[in-house]
Structure 1
Amino acid sequence: MPGTVMRAEAAGDVSSCERSIYSLAGRILASMRHQAAARRRLPGSPFNVAEPPPPPIEQFAVRDQVSHDKYGLGRVIAVEQNVAVLIDFGAETRRINAPYTKLVKL
């Protein structure tokens, strides 16, 4: 009787079959939470291309004239080796962290 089933669901009565379905679904979802293992690279695959090494970090010296994409022309006033440079852009002084992607030595 469909009416009886709907009343039982509305009242919160769940059959043992439904409980086992929910339990199975919970176990499946719990097992899916684990991260996948790292993929093995096949030795003969053409997709095994080594990643190119990152370009070397450009070295700056005090008094180097530079151009920044956002701040414009400036002059280096301090250097923290391979960490950051302090640049005077005229109206403001900025510390730019390495890698200096938007900074070009002139």
Structure 2
Amino acid sequence: MPQQDWNFQQVQENPYSQVPDQFDIERQPQQLERRIRELERQNERQTRELNRQNQEITRINREVNRINQEITRLSQADQRHTNRLNRLNQRLRAVERNLNIPFTATDDGF
């Protein structure tokens, strides 16, 4: 086992010093500007995509509203027809009672 030389300085300088190189210092603003431009372009792309998606959502919502209005209209028409059929059925039963015709329900409701 080798013995340590106590006369040798135990703490050595880091060969990879963290002292910035002048070239790196000059390049750093350029790198930051390039990164900022890249992020701005990315932001613009995302903004365009979000606008496109919002327009699509608006278009779909208009279509859904149109369909809902049609459903409401059909439902109201169906309710009017149901009410009319109920009134006609009541009148028919009243006529049957007046004529003493016994009411017999068949498969189609008459």
Q: TM-score, normalised by structure 2?
A: 0.26
Q: Could you say which structure has the higher helix fraction?
A: 2
Q: TM-score, normalised by structure 1?
A: 0.27
Max Rg structure: 2
